[in-house]
C-alpha cells in the first residue's frame, strides 16, 4: 500500500484526489492538508463519508507526523514552489498538479530531489486525452507549421495561459524546428493590444475564462485551402484521476524530476 497525503485536500481537484485514492485498493489515504476547513473530515468533504482523518494545517508538520510515501499537491501557483521544496526536504516523493512552476524552478526542484534521493513528478495536465492531443499536435506541426492555440477554462483558474497550452506550444515549436518548418508571417499590423493573444515560443495562445467550463483546448492548424483542428475537452474533473493515480504509483520509479504524463504511458 502506498500511503498518500493530499495537499489542498478540500479543493475542487484535491477532493477528487482524496476520493480516487480512497477507492483505489493499492493506495491508502493517510492525510489532508489545507488552509481552510481545518478540522473537518477529509472524507466527508470528498463525498465518501467520514474517514476519521481531519484536514490539517501546516504541510511540514503533517509530513513529520504522518510520514506519507507520496504527497499529491493541488494548491495554488503562488505556493507550489515552496510546497515542493518542503516535501522534497522531508525525503518524500511528490506528484504536482498545481501549475505555475517555471522551467528554472522545475530544474531546481529536480536537482534538489536528486540530492535528497527522492522523486518529483510534475504534469500540466493529467488527462490521457490531453496528452494524446499534444502528441498529435507535434506530429502535425512539421507538415502544417501555421498554428494557434485556444484554451478555455473556468473563471476560477488563477494562471493564463494554462500549463497545458504552454507545454503544447513548446512541443510544437520543437517539432517545427527539428523538421526545419517555418510558419508564414503574420501580417496583422493594426489591432487592440492583446487582441492577438500571448506568444509562447512564437506560437499564439488565446485564453478564455468563463463559468461552466472545466478544461478545454483547441490546436488550430492552417494550410493553403484547408485547416485542421485538434480539440480536447475535459467536462468533469474525474477525467484527471486515472492520470493522477498512475503518477502516484509510478513516481518512485524515476529519481529526480519527471515532467509530463507521457513519460508514464
Please identify which of the residues 67, 116, 157, 249 carries the catalytic annotation: 157
Q: In whole angstroms, give the CA distance from residue 172 to residue 77.
A: 25
**157 noted as active-site residue:** yes
Residue 261, judged by CB atoms within 10 A of its CB (0-12, 13-18, 19+), counts as buried
**199 noted as active-site residue:** no
Q: Phi-psi bin for 45: left (phi > 0), alpha (psi -120 to 50), beta? A: alpha
Please identify which of the residues 153, 206, 216, 250 carries the catalytic annotation: 153
State yes or no: cis peptide before 8, omega within 30 of 0.
Answer: no
Q: Please say whether the beta carbons of 42 and 18 come within 8 A.
A: yes
How many separate helices (H) and strands (E) can be counted in the chain?
Answer: 8, 12
- As annotated, the active-site residues are 153, 157
Amino acid at each position: 500500500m502506498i500511503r498518500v497525503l493530499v495537499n489542498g485536500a478540500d479543493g475542487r481537484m484535491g477532493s477528487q484526489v482524496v476520493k480516487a485514492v480512497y477507492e483505489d485498493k493499492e493506495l491508502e489515504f493517510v492525510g489532508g492538508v489545507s488552509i481552510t476547513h481545518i478540522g473537518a473530515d477529509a472524507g466527508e468533504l470528498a463525498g465518501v463519508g467520514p474517514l476519521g482523518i481531519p484536514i490539517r494545517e501546516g504541510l511540514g508538520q503533517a509530513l513529520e507526523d504522518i510520514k506519507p510515501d507520496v504527497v499529491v499537491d493541488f494548491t495554488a501557483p503562488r505556493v507550489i514552489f515552496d510546497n515542493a521544496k518542503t516535501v522534497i526536504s522531508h525525503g518524500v516523493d511528490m506528484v504536482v498538479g498545481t501549475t505555475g512552476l517555471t522551467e528554472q524552478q522545475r530544474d531546481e526542484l529536480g536537482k534538489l530531489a536528486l540530492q535528497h534521493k527522492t522523486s518529483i513528478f510534475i504534469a500540466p495536465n493529467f488527462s490521457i486525452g490531453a496528452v494524446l492531443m499534444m502528441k498529435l499536435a507535434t506530429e502535425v506541426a512539421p507538415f502544417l507549421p501555421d498554428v494557434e492555440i485556444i484554451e478555455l477554462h473556468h473563471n476560477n483558474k488563477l494562471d493564463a495561459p494554462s500549463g497545458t497550452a504552454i507545454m503544447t506550444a513548446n512541443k510544437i515549436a520543437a517539432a517545427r524546428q527539428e523538421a526545419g518548418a517555418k510558419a508564414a508571417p503574420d501580417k496583422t499590423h493594426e489591432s487592440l493590444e492583446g487582441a492577438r493573444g500571448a506568444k509562447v515560443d512564437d506560437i499564439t495562445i488565446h485564453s478564455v475564462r468563463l463559468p461552466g467550463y472545466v478544461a478545454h483546448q483547441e490546436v488550430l492548424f492552417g494550410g493553403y485551402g484547408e485547416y485542421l483542428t485538434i480539440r480536447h475537452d475535459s467536462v468533469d474533473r474525474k477525467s484527471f484521476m486515472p492520470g493522477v493515480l498512475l503518477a502516484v504509483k509510478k513516481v518512485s520509479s524515476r529519481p529526480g524530476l519527471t515532467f509530463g504524463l507521457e513519460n508514464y504511458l
